[in-house]
Amino acid sequence: MMNIAHYVPLSPLLAFVINIIFGRKLKSASAAVAIAASIGSLILSVKVYQGLSFGYGSYHLGQWLTINGKALNFGIIVDPLTVMMLLIVSFIGTLILIYSTGYMHGDIRYSRYFAYISLFMSSMLGLVLSDNFVMLLICWEGVGLCSYLLISFWHERPAAVAAGIKAFVTTRIGDTGLLIGMLILFFTCGTFYFCDLATVKGPEPLMTLAAILIFTGAMGKSAQFPLHVWLPDAMEGPTAVSALIHAATMVAAGVYLVARCFPLFVAHPIALETVAVIGAISALMAASIAVVTNDIKRVMAYSTISQLGLMMLALGVGGLSAGTFHLMTHAFFKALLFLCAGSVIHAVGTQDIQKMGGLFSTLKITSSTFIVGTLALAGIFPFAGFWSKDEILITAWNNHHPIFFGVVLLTSFLTAFYMGRLIFLVLFGKSRSDLHPHESPASMTVPLIVLSLFACFVGFIGSPLKEAGRMEAGVETYWIMLASSVVSISAIFLAYFVYLRGFLPVSIRSRFKGLHDLLSHKYYIDEFYDFIFVKPCALLCRMAYSFDFHVIDGLVNLVADLAQSVSGVLRKFQTGFAQNYLLVQALGLVVIIIWLLKI
Amino acid sequence: MVDLQYLYPELVLFGFALISLIWGVLSSNKSLIASLAFTGLICALLLLPSTFDASTSAFSGLLVGDGFSAFFRALILLATALIIMLSMADLDILDEDKGEYYFFLLSLAVSLMLAVSSRNLLMIYVSVEAVSVLSYILVAYFKRDVFSSEAGIKYFLFGALSTGVMLYGISLLYGIFGNLDLLSISAAVAKASVVSPVFLIAIVFVLGGMAFKCSLVPFHMAAPDAYQGAPTPVSAFLSVGPKAMGFALLIRFLFTGDSPLIVQWSCLAQALAMITMTVGNMIALKQTNVKRMLAYSSIAHAGFMLIALAVGTSLGIKAILFYLFVYVFMNIGAFGSVIYTNREEISQYAGLSRKNPYAALMMTISLLSLAGLPPLSGFMAKFVVIAAAVQSKFYALAIVAVLNSVLALFYYLKIIKMMYLSKEDDASPLNISSVLTLVLTLTLVANLFLGIWPHGAIQWITLP
């Protein structure tokens, strides 16, 4: 093992510092700085990967704090899971930075954008390298901050600002859970280190509670039900940001956290069950909403929630390797799909898929890569998504969870259906409005091509955690492959007939109107939250504000005035006359002596 | 000869002081003198580790070579090095005759080093007197400037009174115990069953002399005038060097021996700590001159450190030493920013962030560190002091300390508000120099580093 892993996050951090301080002078060179730093991280990550064959574990760079008599070190963990994340983040990050040079061209805060992305990459790389909860939490908040800054990057738009706040507040609810969970763990078992999780013992049900609370943090970050509401709104940010942060990397941090704490969850079946159930609900719910959504980026967002739900479900049925494998493949094809969506939006200037259509003829490269991404997400053989989804199915089946097995099949049906709908509405058929699309510049199409190659082939690598007990795909599981393929392909055909051929009688449509309304209102969850939480909160805030304004501020002002007037009186003693000074000094001495002699 | 080896850093430093004096007279190239003085400091700093040996005492017990004196000698050398760099950039000093200036500065450093490494009251007195005389000269260094001369005279009057009182106390102690070594005095005190009034008065007098050097209330009166009138680098040095010496002497005096004096004197220290903090902060609120405000702020900080002294535990002493170490960087950072911005009135700072963002940032970081906001080193320093107080159940002290921190925030933020939020613009030119940029960047790095990773520095501090 080579102890160079801690240099990986430093190079984007340096790029952030340079861009934030000298950004205005650097102008477009700021992109070059960020890309160079990102490539530096990528090279280092590859080196760390090569070092992995010499064994792995954690090492520390020195002591940081002492808490309750226990030393907390700057600890770095290097194992296959971390290295997989390092490679994903630095590789996709590099591609997205390159893509951004085209996508953000001419933006007034160009250098600021690259500074934030660099900061994000640094925090994300630090997050996966931390070997304890405290450092993880710091980086965790760091990525959250960057997500907030980048969602509201175009802060002239009120919707972007609102979305940023929503994302921040919603994930913060989860973060609080994570903080409480890790503190419970610390106070009962006395450790912040991940490597101790396999052996910790503590009183029940406190430990289960701790595990579930840690999972709440993951729910917030990975946009799982019921904390999923921020992710669709987060699409207000630049599309490249959505691809990097809200599809490939940051939202996967929740899945990473559960995978990192996997021994803890395995030891507490109720917590593991919770993970699976929440994952299943998110997967199904988000996939069904995606079927009726008309905003191309929001379709992607719901698809992301659904796929993250599948990863959680995989972990929840005991499939550590299946879950992380899907995390890896998803990172590539979902980043690809987002970038394609960005390229489409760049070309046509709208996000409404009902206004698009027939773009294949003009956007050749974008469309081909888009189709590759779709096939990968839909899980068609032999694209990346097929392999990882198959592994989830096999795990669910072998671990005797027929219901979750059914959920995964149903989700993959819905997934293939809404992706088919997207493809047929956007790329094929006739143009439904007066658009003049044009293909994007090379800086945007090259990352698309690279990512689409990965979306084709990354599935063959197999799960990075094979040692952790990958199911041997015996003959008896071939029917699962077959079943999932049949389901996906039939869903795409159904979409083809419904959306391209208009093969849906009006009578049937009207019968599903109620369901359609329910879905297009996203199960009324936002409205529910608004009524239950937001409105009362706002009322409370107004009351607190008036209390603060009149009572607290009044007191503070009173104290401040008092201090000022005392200051004025005391200042009079400082006359500038040496005689007075000497008098004060001598009197002071005398007073002290009198006081002491009386005691 | 073995005894002399202990003094190598001081001897080398004094040698360089003499050379710079002679150089100033003989040569017309005066810009080299500062570099010469700086070289001397580096040499002394390099020689310092070789003299550190916990068991040695040199010159029949006049000087001791424990970790405590090593810490303070290093601290003083470090502060002097930073001050010399500040002096290189100060416009007013550039105009004056420099040879003497660096001679006085280096001699002051030597006297301070001797004072902190002694356990004998006579030696302490002689060094303190040397420190005082050199300080008067440096404060009044601008001979043609009325304020500088006035400040020098005032500082002299107070210094004379304080050292006079201290000498009187020392003579009383000698009269009672027939000895000037602190170890024997403490042993004798432990044996005596009744505390006589003369002894009490003697102690108060000695403490009074030391308190003047720390600028504790009510011995603080001269400090603001002196800081305001003195050349800015000298003000910076006075707020760091003699203050460190004052605390070193207080710790030596109160903590030596198996039954240290602090047990009986904690009460007085607590009272003075509270009064000093509050008075310093209160008066600082209404100041309009930055140097004067920093003078009151340094009084308040002395009060803060006195808390840890009053606590009287080993954690308390560690807290003081760490505080002093951190204080060197934040206060020199603040004074350095004053030199860099070339502004003494707070109102002149209006709109500085637009005119020179670097200067405004450096000032802000130093002030926020002085105010004690995390993650800067000032926060850590205050945190350790309050932790020491809470650990020993001095809750009242801790509460007063926290309240005072809030009070202090107000006047520090006033300047920051002026720099960042004020729409006005002050046209006075800045004093941009590369040496100064280096010093400020150094203090910034130290401020951040010690705040985020204080563990190393705290571990490095060894106890007497």
**Residue where the block lists tokens 């930075």:** A97
List, in sequence order, the alpha helices (H) in B90-145.
Answer: 91-95, 98-116, 121-139
Question: What local confidence, expressed as pLDDT, does residue B332 receive?
Answer: 94
Note whether A563 contacts B: Cβ–Cβ < 8 A.
yes
Per-residue CA distances from B451 to A145, A181, B370 (Å): 22, 27, 12
Note whether A592 contacts B: Cβ–Cβ < 8 A.
yes
Amino acid at A517: D
Could you tell me which chain B residue has the CA closest to the CA of A74? B453
Note whether B225 contacts A: Cβ–Cβ < 8 A.
yes
Do B154 and A566 count as a contact with CB atoms less than 8 A apart? no
Could you tell me which chain A residue has the CA closest to the CA of B408? A563
Strand, helix or coil at A268? coil
Which is more confident, A358 or B135? B135
Residues of A with Cβ-Cβ distance to B407 under 8 angstroms: 563
Record the tokens describing residue A290, joined without a space.
């995606």
pLDDT above 50: residue A470: no
Do B201 and A593 count as a contact with CB atoms less than 8 A apart? yes
Show Cβ contacts of residue B200 under 8 Å, excluding neighbours closer than 6 positions. A593, A596, A597
pLDDT above 80: residue B241: yes
Question: What local confidence, expressed as pLDDT, does residue A102 receive?
Answer: 83
Question: What local confidence, expressed as pLDDT, does residue A429 receive?
Answer: 77
Residues of A with Cβ-Cβ distance to B197 under 8 angstroms: 597
Question: What local confidence, expressed as pLDDT, does residue B343 receive?
Answer: 87
| Of A366, A201, A211, A205, nearest in space to A275 by CA | A211
Question: What local confidence, expressed as pLDDT, does residue A468 receive?
Answer: 42
Per-residue CA distances from B110 to A301, B113, B247, B354 (Å): 69, 5, 17, 42
Note whether A582 contacts B: Cβ–Cβ < 8 A.
yes
| Dihedral in degrees, nearest 10, Cα atoms B220, B226, B232, B235 | -40
Cα–Cα distance measured from residue B124 to residue B116, given in angstroms and rounded to the nearest whole number: 8
| Of B200, B225, B21, B404, nearest in space to A581 by CA | B225
Contact yes or no for A390/A329 (Cβ under 8 A): no
Show Cβ contacts of residue A598 under 8 Å, excluding neighbours closer than 6 positions. none
Taking the alpha carbons of A507, A512, A517, A519 in that order, is the dihedral positive or negative?
negative
Cα–Cα distance measured from residue A424 to residue A418, given in angstroms and rounded to the nearest whole number: 10
Q: Closest to B221 (Cβ–Cβ): which among A63, A584, A599?
A: A584
Could you tell me which chain B residue has the CA closest to the CA of A63? B455
| Of A327, A465, A314, nearest in space to A391 by CA | A314
pLDDT above 90: residue B26: no
Cα–Cα distance measured from residue B411 to residue A598, given in angstroms and rounded to the nearest whole number: 38
Cα–Cα distance measured from residue B140 to residue B150, given in angstroms and rounded to the nearest whole number: 7
Taking the alpha carbons of A191, A197, A199, A200 in that order, is the dihedral positive or negative?
positive
Q: What is the ipTM of this complex?
A: 0.77
Q: Closest to B200 (Cβ–Cβ): which among A564, A581, A597?
A: A597
Average pLDDT of chain A?
84
With pLDDT > 90 as the criterion, what percentage of chain B qualifies? 38
Residue B240: pLDDT band with limits 50, 70, 90 = very high
Residues of A with Cβ-Cβ distance to B285 under 8 angstroms: 563-564, 567
| Of B145, B153, B148, nearest in space to B234 by CA | B148
**Residue where the block lists tokens 């509460």:** B399
Which is more confident, A105 or A121? A121
Taking the alpha carbons of A20, A22, A25, A30 in that order, is the dihedral positive or negative?
negative
**Residue where the block lists tokens 């003083």:** B76
Read off the pLDDT of residues B390-407 as tens digits, 9 standing for 90 and up: 988 888 899 999 989 888
Of A236-245, A251-260, B79-88, which range is least confident? Answer: A236-245
Do A563 and B282 count as a contact with CB atoms less than 8 A apart? yes
In angstroms, what separates the C-alpha of A222 from chain B's closest C-alpha? 30
Question: What local confidence, expressed as pLDDT, does residue A23 receive?
Answer: 77
Do B204 and A587 count as a contact with CB atoms less than 8 A apart? no
Residues of B with Cβ-Cβ distance to A585 under 8 angstroms: 158, 161-162, 218-219, 221
Note whether B165 contacts A: Cβ–Cβ < 8 A.
yes
> How many CB atoms within 10 Å of residue A435?
17
Question: What is the b/e burial string over B208-232, where b = at least 16 CB atoms within 10 angstroms of the residue's CB?
Answer: bbbbbbbbbbbbbbbbbbbbbbbbb
Question: What is the b/e burial string over B432-455, where b = at least 16 CB atoms within 10 angstroms of the residue's CB?
Answer: ebebbbebbebbbebbbebbebbb
pLDDT above 70: residue A326: yes
Read off the pLDDT of residues B176-218 as tens digits, 9 standing for 90 and up: 888 888 888 888 888 876 678 888 889 899 999 999 888 898 8
**Residue where the block lists tokens 């704090």:** A65
Read off the pLDDT of residues B79-100 as tens digits, 9 standing for 90 and up: 999 999 998 887 676 666 667 8
Note whether A581 contacts B: Cβ–Cβ < 8 A.
yes
Average pLDDT estimate for A52-58: 77
Residue A75: phi, psi to the nearest 5?
Answer: -100, 140
Of A208-212, A460-464, A559-563, B300-304, which range is least confident? Answer: A460-464
Do B285 and A586 count as a contact with CB atoms less than 8 A apart? no
Residues of B with Cβ-Cβ distance to A599 under 8 angstroms: 267
What count of CB pairs under 8 Å joins A to B? 70
Helix-helix angle A578-598:B146-177, to 10 degrees: 30
Helix-helix angle B314-341:B67-89, to 10 degrees: 10
Question: What local confidence, expressed as pLDDT, does residue A464 receive?
Answer: 66
Strand, helix or coil at A577? coil
Question: What local confidence, expressed as pLDDT, does residue B369 receive?
Answer: 93
Q: Closest to A576 (Cβ–Cβ): which among B158, B225, B455?
A: B225
Do B410 and A592 count as a contact with CB atoms less than 8 A apart? no
Read off the pLDDT of residues A157-175 as tens digits, 9 standing for 90 and up: 888 888 888 888 888 888 9
H helices, E strands: number in chain B: 21, 2
Could you tell me which chain B residue has the CA closest to the CA of A597? B197
pLDDT above 80: residue A20: yes
Question: What is the b/e burial string over A574-583, where b = at least 16 CB atoms within 10 angstroms of the residue's CB?
Answer: beeebeebbe
* Alpha-carbon radius of gyration of chain A: 28
**Residue where the block lists tokens 């989700």:** A411
Cα–Cα distance measured from residue A188 to residue A190, given in angstroms and rounded to the nearest whole number: 6
Residue B463: pLDDT band with limits 50, 70, 90 = low
Read off the pLDDT of residues B343-391 as tens digits, 9 standing for 90 and up: 888 888 888 888 888 889 999 999 999 998 888 999 999 998 998 999 8
Record the tokens describing residue A367, joined without a space.
């469309």
Do B161 and A582 count as a contact with CB atoms less than 8 A apart? yes
Note whether B432 contacts A: Cβ–Cβ < 8 A.
no
Do A566 and B282 count as a contact with CB atoms less than 8 A apart? yes
Stretch (H or E) spanning B41: helix B31-47
**Residue where the block lists tokens 């024997």:** B184
